Amino acid sequence: NEKSVGFIGLGNMGSRMANNLIKNGYKVAVHDINCNVMKMFSDMGVPTKETPFEVAEASDVVITMLPSSSHVLDVYTGPNGLLRSANPMRPQLLIDSSTIDPQTSRKVSVAVSNCILKEKKDHWEKPVMLDAPVSGGVLAAEAGTLTFMVGGSEDAYLAAKPLFLSMGKNAIYCGGAGTGSAAKICNNLALAVSMLGVSEAFVLGQSLGISAGTLTKVLNTSSARCWSSDSYNPVPGVMEGVPASRNYTGGFASKLMVGDLAYFSLAKDLNLAATSAKEVGLQCPLTYQAQEIYTELCKDGHENKDFSCVFRHYYSGQDE
Ligand code: NAD
């Protein structure tokens, strides 16, 4: 593949996504502020760059996978940021896969569209930005089975599709700038609430004398069936291979959780949802309630456990 791709943010997700691009034949150059991870890539023979600006100078496409909005603003608009060479710049396409608020995605998209290209390629007059956050976690990043939700120009989405499909199995076009970020926070809002709903139903069910196994059978063949009940059941011992069956750690879960943002990211994503709701003057009572409960979990010292441990939290509430 002839396209040079710059990848910035080589954490739990980004390092695996960059590896999949390399496996698919892209010429990849990378940058991260963490020297250890940079060394890991340079040991593999991958060119490493000292700043986002240097990445931009070497790349046709740049992908960012950073913790939150402030990091994205820094990498794009900071002193050595991607847009330093605004007039003119090399990359024609900039893709941000971080989970951030839609307002920031739109702001960065506008900053990108104010730049011009060093070399006009194809029909592209200006560099284009896509917000393309992902669902799927570390295992999906590793296996290349992520789902991308993409906001920005549809032409740019179509041009970027082969890149998305090198790192994921689905890429869904959501609409204009910021709608990918909006889709992601809405997905995680629904996930956070569905996990609470399922957990609450199991706690009540057990108190009313229905075993968790039986209730699982019922839910999964009835109208309450959802990912939290049929793929990520929060009750210990009901399903094999889920965090709940390993004290909310271990195997898949611990890999996902150790030192990463996956658990916090739910609290983080709920904050993003709550903030976005406020900005558009919408009341989202379940979001606020879920935000409170997951924040409480973090404060109680469970921040490194899988978020499905919210099931157990109901019992700790009763014990006190
Ligand atoms: P991570 O903390 O493991 O990785 C982030 C990386 O960005 C780190 O290597 C860090 O050194 C680097 N970084 C931070 N600031 C930087 C800067 N200014 N310049 C260059 N590099 C910088 O996080 P992650 O788990 O890979 O998550 C990344 C994003 O993906 C987050 O927005 C998260 O919400 C989202 N996400 C994560 C998961 C998951 O399961 N981990 C799933 C879906 C979405």
**How confident is the model over 21-65, as pLDDT tens digits?**
999 999 999 999 999 999 999 999 999 999 999 999 999 999 999
Residue 101 token pair: 């608020």
User: pLDDT digit string (tens) for 62-104?
Assistant: 999 998 899 999 999 999 999 997 778 999 999 999 999 999 9
Beta bridge partners of 96: 64, 131
List the beta strands (DSSP E) in 80-198: 93-96, 128-131, 134-135, 146-151, 168-175
Distances (CA, A) of 106 to 132, 182, 207, 278, 305: 12, 11, 48, 17, 33
Measured from the Cβ of residue 250, the count of other Cβ atoms closer than 10 Å reads: 14
pLDDT at 251: 36
Single out the residue of 166, 226, 168 nearest to residue 199, CA to CA. 226
> Do the beta carbons of residue 102 and residue 181 sit within 8 Å?
yes
118 catalytic residue (yes or no): no
Q: How far, in Å, CA of 180 to CA of 150, rounded? A: 4
Quick one: CATH architecture of 4-176?
3-Layer(aba) Sandwich (3.40)
> Per-domain residue ranges for the chain?
4-176, 183-319
Q: Which residue has the higher pLDDT, 93 or 291?
A: 93
> Is residue 49 within 8 Å of 69, Cβ to Cβ?
no
Same CATH topology for 4-176 and 183-319: the answer is no
Phi and psi of 172, rounded to 5°?
-110, 125
What is the whole-number distance in angstroms between the Cα of residue 76 and the centre of ligand 1? 15
Span of 104-108, 121-125, 203-207, 231-235 with lowest mean pLDDT: 121-125
- Residue 21 beta carbon below 6 angstroms from any ligand 1 atom: no
CB 129 within 8 A of CB 152: yes
**Cα 316 from Cα 314, distance rounded (Å):** 6
Any ligand 1 atom below 6 A from CB of 132: no
pLDDT at 128 (0 to 100): 95
Say how many C-beta atoms besides its own lie within 10 A of residue 25's C-beta. Answer: 11
CA atoms of 254 and 252, how far apart (whole Å): 6
- Cβ(51) to ligand 1 under 6 A? no
More confident residue, 183 or 294: 183
CATH class (in words) of the domain with range 183-319: mainly alpha
**CA-CA distance, 166 to 182, in Å (whole number)?**
23
Q: pTM for the whole thing?
A: 0.91
* Ligand 1: residue whose CA is nearest its atom 15: 71
